[in-house]
Amino acid sequence: MKRFKCLLPILFVFAFIFTGFLTPAHAADVDYEIATDETFAPFEFQNKKGELIGIDMDILKAIAKDQGFTYTVKPMGFNAAVQALEGNQVDGVIAGMSITDERKKKFDFSDPYFDSGVVMAIKKDDNDIKSYKDLKGKKVAVKTGTEGYAFAEKNKDKYGYTLVPFDDSASMYEDVKTGNSSAAFDDYPVLAYGVKVGNGLKIVTQKESGAQYGFAVKKDQNTELLEKFNRGLTNIRANGTYDDILDRYIGSDVEKDSFWDTLVASAPALLLGLWNTIKLTFISLFFAAILGLVFGFLKVSRSTFLRGIATVYVDIFRGIPLIVLAFFIYFGIPQAFGFKMDPNLAAVLTLSLNAGAYITEIIRGGILAVDKGQMEAARSLGIPYGKSMMKIILPQAVRVMVPSFINQFVITLKDTSIMSVIGIVELTQSGKIIIARTFETSGIWLVVAIMYLIVITLLTKLSNVLERRLSK
């Protein structure tokens, strides 16, 4: 009873973290869930207050007000947003999405709300590249899924360059700044905004005629939402709201903050990202420990069948790359069975199943490290196998397992960064969002690295303390 009372505060804290993490940010009922990118300024990005703004966000807000519907935005990478729509996880996507014949096979689009076009940018102090012909034998950075990527892919053989794909514009620009790539292709408003903010590049070509942006829903679904969007778009164009939105982000100059001002303004977002990382790690490892304990016992079972079950579990979830597992759980399973899954739940399942497979082996190794004579002595005294394992073997095995447990904690904490692909805003994704707005790449990544280092160093110190205490 005394032990249980000692555990009550820990269980209370865990329950607080668990419920706080898995409770949806938008508890109120809304009419629609809309997915978007959050690193595609000036169409969608976060401001200093952490609010999602941009041309797309303001257009959507104005249309929703005009048509009288409510919505919640699910920010994630562009590719993840498109997959979420295809997998029925969201009702629509607005993310600077070009209307193409290929996409029309899977999605229905609204009336075009922006005419885009592709331009090429090079390093600001580069005077050698003036046209596409100067790219022969060089590398060109592009963002996957964009019109710039399609244009670069179409002309790569003609001009003799190779493509280097990225998932966000900021990384693409940084690759050009560092000299790894000689140029970047991107949509004109995105590159023009980046140049104003100070991404270190300059535009050297005229805008190529390109596709138009549209709001997308899944084929033959959510026709009512599409009709509302089209009616609202017509109305905000007529009353001048649409032009005001474009002037707000394209027509005016963008003020460039100092790095210190950027860091101070971004501190709350970074700390929130760190908090989400720690919560996700603790919750995932809690369930991973349960899985590891169950399958760890199965691994050392006297039954060949039970050992086989544990082996299959370990081989599957250690063998599948974490990002593939995340996509399968969040996109594949809901699409196959026709339901929606919260991204937080998908992230916990992914990390728990993966870490659980490794903890299974940690527990198996710890149990086998205990001298076999301990079990034989317990059994000779008439103690049942299960009780011998729980009371005699496992307590001794824990001393061996502690360093490996802490190591797995560190690995899982770093693995949370992969969950950004399904829309989880943890520490790494928080850094990406800030960089998309400010293009302060080196400084922000240094701060993120230091934050990870501090947390991992504290965990390492904790491991050392636990080892010393257990050795006594």
Q: Which domains does the chain have, with CATH numbers?
A: 31-113+214-251 (3.40.190.10), 115-211 (3.40.190.10), 259-471 (1.10.3720.10)
The 10s digit of each residue's pLDDT in 381-429 is 888 877 887 788 878 888 788 888 888 998 999 999 999 888 888 999 8
**pLDDT band at residue 314 under the 50/70/90 scheme:** very high
Distance (Å, whole) CA 445 – CA 432: 9
pLDDT of 226 > 80? The answer is yes
Q: Of the ranges 28-37, 178-187, 301-310, which one carries the lowest mean pLDDT score?
A: 28-37
The 10s digit of each residue's pLDDT in 375-387 is 778 878 888 877 8
How confident is the prediction for the chain on average, in pLDDT? Answer: 86
> In the prediction, which pLDDT does 28 show?
47
**pLDDT band at residue 35 under the 50/70/90 scheme:** very high
Tokens 């706080």: give the residue: 20
Q: Of the ranges 1-15, 122-136, 163-177, which one carries the lowest mean pLDDT score?
A: 1-15
pLDDT of 197 > 60? The answer is yes
> In the prediction, which pLDDT does 339 show?
83
Q: Of the ranges 55-59, 193-197, 232-236, 305-309, which one carries the lowest mean pLDDT score?
A: 193-197
Distance (Å, whole) CA 23 – CA 383: 45
> In the prediction, which pLDDT does 257 show?
66
> In the prediction, which pLDDT does 284 show?
94
The 10s digit of each residue's pLDDT in 154-164 is 999 999 999 99
- pLDDT: is 23 or 206 the higher one? 206
**pLDDT band at residue 1 under the 50/70/90 scheme:** very low
Percent of the chain with pLDDT over 70: 92
> In the prediction, which pLDDT does 167 show?
80
The 10s digit of each residue's pLDDT in 95-153 is 988 898 889 999 999 999 998 889 999 999 998 999 999 999 999 999 887 888 889 99
**pLDDT band at residue 320 under the 50/70/90 scheme:** very high
> In the prediction, which pLDDT does 251 show?
61
